[in-house]
């Protein structure tokens, strides 16, 4: 029997000596973790406990939900870690369970958002009409004087009055025409087609199976008389030919 005021301890894998089942309330680390996980108030955690293939976790859910199991004889509620220890669940095991719950929750959120993301990618992949960068959407550009008459949209846009002095120093005004022509890029439309996002297009085609994935590169080694290509080339580089002897023999 332990001395009064002492806590009975048991050995737990990965943690060493920890407070026993009967003194589980003293296991502050276990308690802090379970309070953060909130297996009583978090509906997602409770669902995972109910669906767990491990009967210890379903038993834990039953006990925390049943006043007969989660209260002491004098009406005081048992600590969550005491109930968990009573079901034979260690902190490490509950931690692994909590990680599994977090992963499943993250996957559920991701799966729920896939439809919205795919919809956005479909919009991004489509070509759109944007303002022409050449004419800034005005449909025309400045043109020099003297262009051929067939030039599309070639015309006088306005007349500027330019002041300058003559040879006698008198100020005179001269009318100077400003010529314009249709924008050659947008053809006087003011907008041009811009292709959709290349990444979104590729991913959508990949998702629908309309493009084939490239297979892995296969390395092929050709043997030449029991030698690899690299060694054969090295041996050929080492061969010397006496050009003068060959010429003399001819």
- Written as six digits, the tokens of 85 are 């220890």
Asked whether the beta carbons of 103 and 143 are under 8 A apart, the reply is: no
Q: Using alpha carbons, list the distances in angstroms from residue 52 to 81, 100, 102, 233.
A: 18, 10, 14, 64
Name which of 28-42, 111-125, 175-189, 201-215 the model is least confident about: 201-215
In this predicted structure, the answer to whether residue 97 has a pLDDT above a threshold of 50 is: yes
For the chain, the first-to-last Cα distance in angstroms comes to: 112
Question: How many Å apart are CA 165 and CA 173, to the nearest integer?
Answer: 9
Instruction: Check residues 35 and 220 and name the one with the higher pLDDT.
Output: 35
Q: Kindly state the percentage of the chain with pLDDT values over 90.
A: 52
Strands (DSSP E) contained in 166-221 are 171-182, 191-194
pTM of the model: 0.49
The pLDDT of 171-198, averaged and rounded, is 94
* Tokens 């003011």 found at: 190
The pLDDT of 23-29, averaged and rounded, is 79
What pLDDT is recorded for position 53?
Answer: 93
- The chain-wide mean pLDDT, for the chain, equals 83
In this predicted structure, the answer to whether residue 245 has a pLDDT above a threshold of 80 is: no
What pLDDT is recorded for position 246?
Answer: 44
Strand partners, 131: 191
């Amino acid at each position: 029997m332990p001395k009064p005021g002492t806590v009975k301890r048991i050995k737990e894998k990965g943690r060493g000596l920890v407070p026993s089942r009967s003194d589980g309330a003293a296991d502050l680390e276990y308690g802090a973790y379970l309070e953060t996980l909130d297996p009583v108030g978090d509906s997602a955690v409770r669902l995972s406990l109910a669906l767990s293939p491990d009967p210890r976790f379903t038993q834990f859910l039953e006990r925390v939900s049943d006043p007969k199991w989660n209260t002491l004889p004098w009406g005081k509620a048992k600590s969550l870690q005491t109930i968990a220890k009573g079901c034979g669940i260690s902190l490490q095991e509950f931690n692994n369970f909590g990680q599994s719950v977090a992963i499943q929750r993250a996957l559920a959120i991701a799966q729920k958002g896939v439809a919205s993301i795919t919809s956005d990618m479909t919009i991004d992949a489509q070509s759109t009409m944007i303002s022409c960068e050449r004419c800034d959407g005005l449909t025309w550009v400045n043109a020099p004087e003297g262009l051929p008459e067939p030039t599309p949209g070639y015309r006088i846009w306005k007349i500027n009055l330019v002041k300058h002095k003559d040879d006698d120093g008198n100020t005179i005004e001269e009318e100077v025409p400003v010529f314009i022509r249709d924008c050659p890029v947008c053809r006087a439309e003011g907008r041009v087609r811009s292709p959709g996002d290349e990444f979104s297009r590729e991913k959508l085609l990949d998702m629908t199976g309309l493009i084939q994935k490239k297979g892995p590169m296969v390395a092929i080694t050709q043997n030449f008389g029991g030698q690899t290509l690299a060694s054969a080339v090295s041996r050929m580089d080492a061969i010397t030919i006496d050009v003068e002897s060959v010429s003399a023999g001819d």
